[in-house]
Amino acid sequence: MPDKQEDIRSFEQMFRNNYPRLCQRVFRITKNLEAAEDIVQEVFISFWNHEQPQKVENPEAYIYRACINQALNFTSRDKQQAQLQKFYQEQQPQESNNPEQQLEQQELEKQVQQTIELLPPMCRQVFLLSRYEEMSHKEIADFLNISPNTVDNHIKKALSILRKLLLLFFLVLFKIYFTYFI
């Protein structure tokens, strides 16, 4: 029984030492304080209930990675679309109140989001950490235990796929425009 009490004390200490830092880090991803707190709490609870802490070599690193992964999962399609919408609105001239332009913009955002979701899992994770978490290539490499060159290759691959999508999308728009309006 003393071992269980010692486990509880060390777990409580780990929670107290890491909870604020993890909440801040997760908040940077989710942009939602309540969700960040919930994610961190759920990871700690899951770790306590399902993992055997004594079998995990570095519990703090394990929990940190689990929190980041859960935060990325939380950043759902709606969240990403909202960020893309905001970005595109900032880039568009103010006179884009035209319903056709808005429809085209929504369709483009949908296509970009779908393409991001179709990226291979590691490529998608690297791309999201780079673009949404704003981590450097070195930070991503350290976080995922891969080389910086691998990070660079994943980002290049994701951007190449997105460029092809955008080119295809614009070609379709031009074809529609020239077919129906000229």
16-27 pLDDT tens trace: 999 999 999 999
Of 58, 74, 90, which marks where a domain is finished?
Answer: 74
Residue 152 banded pLDDT, cuts 50, 70, 90: very high
Looking at per-residue confidence, does 154 or 162 come out higher?
154
If asked whether residues 177 and 91 sit together in one domain, one would say yes
Domain final residue, candidates 42, 74, 106: 74
Whether residues 86 and 174 fall in one domain: yes
Q: Tens of pLDDT along 36-82?
A: 999 999 999 988 887 666 677 888 889 999 999 888 888 765 566 67
Q: Is the model's pLDDT at 103 over the cut of 90?
A: no
Q: In three state form, how does the secondary structure of the chain look?
A: CHHHHHHHHHHHHHHHHHHHHHHHHHHHHHCCHHHHHHHHHHHHHHHHHHCCHHHCCCHHHHHHHHHHHHHHHHCCHHHHHHHHHHHHHHHCCCCCCCHHHHHHHHHHHHHHHHHHHHCCHHHHHHHHHHHCCCCCHHHHHHHHCCCHHHHHHHHHHHHHHHHHHHHHHHHHHHHHHHHHHC
**Given a cut of 60, is residue 177 above it in pLDDT?**
yes
Higher pLDDT, 78 or 181: 181
Boundaries of domain holding 55: 2-74
